[in-house]
Amino acid sequence: DAKTTQPPSMDCAEGRAANLPCNHSTISGNEYVYWYRQIHSQGPQYIIHGLKNNETNEMASLIITEDRKSSTLILPHATLRDTAVYYCIVTWAGSYQLTFGKGTKLSVIP
């Protein structure tokens, strides 16, 4: 699986959009970009995933650059409950071993 690089920490004001970047410059054509988050040692929570196109669901939007070498997770209106560690994971469709790096610790500030 391709390696990912994320900033170790970010702050976001409550109610504003949180934009979390991820670099995956060695991604191959059949690899997906997944985002999970872990709130204070709870189980990781699936957020969203994508291959080439931008994706949106009730939790977030995923913007993948045209060359697929980076992506951004967008939480449109961050709340205090979004404070968590966010993991960007690149994995191919047949893989079952998710590789969790250190992620980005997002702090939403009142």
Count CB atoms within 10 A of the CB of residue 83: 19
54 binds another protein per the rule CB under 8 A: no
Q: And the tokens for 51?
A: 């291959």
Report the 10 Å Cβ neighbour count for 25. 12
Residue 96 interacts with another protein (CB under 8 A): yes or no: yes
Pick between residue 52 and residue 77 the one whose CB is nearest to another protein: 52
Contact between 101 and another protein (CB under 8 A)? yes
Q: Is the CB of 77 or the CB of 102 nearer to another protein?
A: 102
Selected binder of another protein within 13, 17, 51, 80 (CB under 8 A): 51
Question: What is the number of H-type helices and E-type strands within the chain?
Answer: 0, 9
The single residue among 41, 53, 58, 110 that binds another protein, judged by CB under 8 A, is 41
107 burial via Cβ count (<10 Å: 0-12, 13-18, 19+):
middle
Q: Counting contacts by CB under 8 A, is residue 105 touching another protein? A: no
- Distance in angstroms (rounded) separating the CA atoms of residues 102 and 92: 20
Pick one of 10, 19, 32, 107: the residue that binds another protein (CB under 8 A): 32
Angstrom distance (rounded) from CA 78 to CA 108: 7
Contact residues for another protein, defined by CB under 8 A: 32, 34, 36, 41-46, 49, 51, 87, 93, 96-103
